[in-house]
Amino acid sequence: MKKIVALLMASAMAASLAACGGSAQSSEATSAAPAESTAAESTATDGKKYEGVELTMWSMWTAGEAQANVIQAAADAFEKETGAHVNIEWKGRDVNTLLSAALESGEKLDIFEDDYNRIGNAYAPYTYDLTEMAAAAGYDDFSYACFNEQSKAWAGYLNSIVEQPQIGGVFYNKDAFEASGITETPKTWDEFLDVCQTLKDNGYEPLALDGAYANFNFYNHLVRHLGEDAIKELGEKGGWADNEAAVAAAQETIDLVNAGYLAEGAPDAYPASQTKVGLGTVAMIVCANYVTSEVDAAVGEPVNWGFFNYPEVEGNVDASAYAGANSLAISSYTENAQAAFDFIMTVVTGTYGQQLADDCAQIPADTRLKESVLEGSVEALKNTTTPMSWCGALNTLDSWSTIKSSMVELFEGKYATGADYCAYLDTLCG
């Protein structure tokens, strides 16, 4: 639940600060690290390329965490190869409470990590334009367009490099699928229902659901039928009951519940239902990829996780996946932009990019690297042009808390028909 709150706060903060002005410093770099390299090779015969350079980085991780260990190892290797020393200050998850003041005051700070939404909005006036260095490194060829384009849309230029991509969709236990003879992940809603029935026939409860994520689960279905722009309009003006696609989305959700495809007790109190995936009794859950580490930690051993994008419905409007990222940025006033960029490339590509994916059970930031977990996540992110948000404009409405509760009730079976549910939404919207 804390992660949901954090996501919503981040979105709200970004929206409120998006209008902030400020001009960004243009990149003066004429070269960058090769895409496959962990750092630029020495160009001088009498010393290492960045001998004597000191970089300061503020990290969102805490010392001793898997991510911190990998980043420190990358810093040590970078110094050995290039001569540049990276002084990393481990600020933890509250780094966002410190960054604005530090950047505004011009505190010694070359590189920093945070949510890419905040970097693209709140911190944009203090970020370096990475466009030229990224182009020289061929960054577009091994990164995710959805994050790059969003960064450019927010800041006016590429102002961050993704370190930890995140994706939302259906996470499943591969062992349950294999034991049930399921060899292909579903792409359409009808195929998804067939998978649910097959799992049920083989003794598995198909879908876990905690109340904390019920809104995200249903929103995925709404987006497939309506798209985010139409959802926003219905939220602001009403008209749910007159919209056939909205009624269909609600009805299909009711039918899913009535078919007995939810785990017993779902929607349950977080994290009771999602933990059942780790216990081997439930096969799937709709969430963002952090659910995998939560479940693994709860049961004490890793699930054999798989991933597929939320299935498309008949007349599908938008197949985008939810996507977010923790990213790395360079301060606009740094005196060593190229060295800072080369170090960032060391972290997210090659040996250390792969180690982040392996040791931290995350999606690789470099699309050329191997997926250690969540097979299919890279493909889904690469195919996503405009990422789906976490409940979009609905969570900005004054009535959001009531709407959110109604989505839990929808999965609880309170509404007899999709039309009934949409009629209730009309009392909350417009």
pLDDT tens, position by position, 3-29: 333 333 334 333 333 333 333 333 333
Domain layout of the chain by residue ranges: 2-165+325-371, 167-322+388-428
- Write down the mean pLDDT value for the chain: 90
- Give mean pLDDT, residues 107-123: 95
Is 50 exceeded by the pLDDT of residue 425?
yes
Domains 2-165+325-371 and 167-322+388-428 share a fold: yes
Q: Is the pLDDT of residue 44 over 60?
A: no
The encoded tokens of residue 104 equal: 């505004």
Element at 78 (helix H, strand E): helix 66-82
% of the chain with per-residue pLDDT over 90 = 82
Give the number of other Cβ atoms within 10 Å of residue 89's Cβ: 13
pLDDT category of residue 392 using cuts at 50, 70 and 90:
confident
* Nearest C-alpha neighbor of 287 from the set 217, 205, 387: 217
Percentage helix, strand, coil for the chain under 3-state DSSP, each rounded to 5: 50, 15, 35
Q: What is the pLDDT of residue 47?
A: 81
Question: Per-residue pLDDT for 268 more than 60?
Answer: yes
Nearest to 365 by CA among 164, 166, 167, 119: 164
pLDDT number for residue 46: 56
Q: What is the mean pLDDT of residues 353-366?
A: 94
Can you tell me the mean pLDDT for 388-395? 90
Of 161, 120, 116, the C-alpha closest to 138 is 161
DSSP secondary structure code for residue 331 in this structure: B
> How far is the C-alpha of 23 from the C-alpha of 186, rounded, in Å?
46
Pick the CATH number of 2-165+325-371 from 1.20.58.220, 3.40.50.620, 3.40.190.10, 1.10.287.40: 3.40.190.10
**What pLDDT does 375 receive?**
84
Q: Which of 93, 77, 88, 98 is nearest to 33 (CA)?
A: 77
pLDDT recorded at residue 361: 85
pLDDT score, position 10: 39
Nearest CA to 207 out of 216, 195, 215, 222 is that of 195
**CA 175 to CA 424: how far, in whole Å?**
40
The HSE-up count of residue 142 (CA atoms within 13 Å, CB side) is 23
Q: Does domain 167-322+388-428 have CATH number 3.40.50.720?
A: no
Looking at residues 65-87, what average pLDDT do you find? 97
Please state the separation of Cα 354 from the chain's center in Å: 18
Considering only residues 233 and 6, tell me which one the structure prediction assigns the higher pLDDT: 233
39, 346 contact by CB (below 8 A): yes
pLDDT value of position 75: 98
Q: Is the dihedral of CA 204, 266, 259, 255 positive or negative?
A: negative
The Cα 75–Cα 78 span in angstroms is 5
Using DSSP bridges, classify how beta strands 282-288 and 161-173 pair: parallel, antiparallel or unpaired: antiparallel
